[in-house]
């Protein structure tokens, strides 16, 4: 089997660490591995496959001889360095939002649109974490009957905002229990003109507000879903909420179809679709929850029931690990798809 030189950009972040874990778990065919990060992290050490790797500074020359680079260091770094990597013959899988809506750049969830990697020009975008689990759940249902409208409300964990946000949730929780003062620096986002308590609270804002009253996160879900599924006219609306959960995003999804789709048909289609695990037994109080889905790669679906307010509608509940399937695992699956298709 051919082996590849691989680089991880943003290796010290939550997604970067998950990338190293998933690469090892999936036995990705690695010849040589580079761990790249900012200058302040250079020369620190990370472990992979029982070996220690010294972090190198992410700069253009670091991509010489690299076959695949997984970027997870934010949009500014991607905009600066991804084109430099591509110039050097590297295939970039980018986890930021920098290129997702560029018409010529594939936006891929391998269970849904693997064909879109064909004809890539060296750069493939990994979708938003909430979008990934949504489209995996929607695809088998859309195959039963074309979707007419989708309403999605998200309950997103603080890990989506990074390590500092997770630490702040834990620190705030302990401070409240102890009756102490606490800081509010990370939610809705670092540097916001006003941040809010997230412990024992929910915040209906992810990212910045747009002119239409939606947040940037909500518009990502809408536009990315349309692009990935090849349904530019799909009517879809979204409300995103940050909740005091450390890991795992949940979504309440309402789907209106053009024709009849029974809960039984939906359940069977979901059970037979790759990457989905159905947990749906109300009698036994079984349904997906973030605590059960953490550190797993599948999309979990439950609470499958008819929407009795419309002629052809269903409600479903969708949960997935936002760091793994929502970022690291999907990125590596994209690279695996490229290899399987002989496109590298």
183 within 8 A of 267, measured Cβ to Cβ: no
Name the region of 43 (left: φ>0; alpha: ψ -120 to 50; beta: rest).
left
157 within 8 A of 247, measured Cβ to Cβ: yes
Rounded CA-CA distance 319/302 in Å is 9
Is 129 marked active-site?
Answer: yes
* Count of Cβ atoms closer than 10 Å to residue 341 Cβ: 13
Is 249 marked active-site?
Answer: yes
List 120, 129, 293, 337, catalytic entry: 129
If residue 137 lies in a helix (H) or strand (E), which one and from where to where?
helix 129-144
* Count of Cβ atoms closer than 10 Å to residue 180 Cβ: 10
Three-state SS string over 271-291 comes to: HCCCCEEECCEHHHCECCCHH
* Count of Cβ atoms closer than 10 Å to residue 14 Cβ: 21
Rounded CA-CA distance 128/136 in Å is 13
Q: How far, in Å, are 68, 69, 89, 226, 242 from residue 65 at the CA level?
A: 9, 11, 8, 35, 40
- Two tokens, residue 306: 């008819």
Rounded CA-CA distance 226/6 in Å is 31
- Counting Cα atoms < 13 Å in the Cβ hemisphere of 142 gives 18
308 within 8 A of 336, measured Cβ to Cβ: no
List 120, 142, 189, 249, catalytic entry: 249
- Counting Cα atoms < 13 Å in the Cβ hemisphere of 225 gives 28
Catalytic residues: 129, 249
């Amino acid at each position: 089997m051919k082996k590849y030189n691989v680089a991880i950009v943003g290796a010290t972040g939550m997604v970067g660490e998950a990338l190293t874990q998933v690469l090892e778990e999936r036995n990705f065919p690695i010849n040589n591995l580079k761990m790249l990060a900012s200058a302040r992290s250079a020369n620190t050490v990370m472990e992979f496959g029982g070996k220690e790797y010294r972090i190198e500074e992410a700069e253009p020359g670091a991509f010489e001889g690299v076959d695949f680079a997984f970027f997870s260091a934010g949009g500014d770094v991607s905009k600066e360095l991804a084109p430099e990597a591509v110039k050097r013959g590297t295939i970039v899988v980018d986890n930021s939002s920098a290129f997702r809506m560029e018409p010529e750049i594939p936006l891929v969830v391998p269970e849904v649109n693997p064909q879109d990697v064909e004809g890539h020009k060296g750069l493939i975008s990994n979708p938003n974490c909430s979008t990934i689990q949504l489209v995996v759940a929607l695809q088998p249902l859309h195959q039963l009957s074309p979707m007419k409208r989708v309403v999605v409300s998200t309950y997103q964990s603080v890990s989506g905002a990074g390590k500092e946000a997770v630490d702040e949730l834990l620190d705030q929780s302990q401070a409240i229990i102890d009756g102490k003062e606490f800081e509010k620096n990370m939610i809705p986002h670092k540097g916001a003109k006003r941040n809010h308590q997230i412990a024992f609270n929910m915040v209906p804002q992810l990212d910045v507000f747009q002119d239409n009253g939606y947040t940037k996160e909500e518009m990502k879900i809408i536009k990315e879903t349309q692009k990935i599924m090849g349904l530019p006219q799909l009517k879809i609306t979204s409300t995103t909420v940050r909740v005091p959960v450390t890991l795992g995003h949940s979504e309440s999804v309402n789907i209106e179809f053009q024709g009849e789709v029974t809960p039984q048909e939906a359940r069977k289609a979901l059970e037979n679709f790759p990457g989905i695990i159905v947990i749906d037994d109300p009698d036994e109080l079984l349904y997906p929850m973030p605590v059960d889905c953490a550190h797993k790669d599948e999309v979990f679906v439950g609470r499958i029931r008819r929407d009795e307010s419309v002629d052809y509608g269903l409600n479903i509940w969708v949960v997935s690990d936002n760091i793994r399937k929502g970022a690291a695992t999907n990125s590596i699956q994209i690279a695996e798809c490229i290899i399987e298709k002989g496109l590298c």
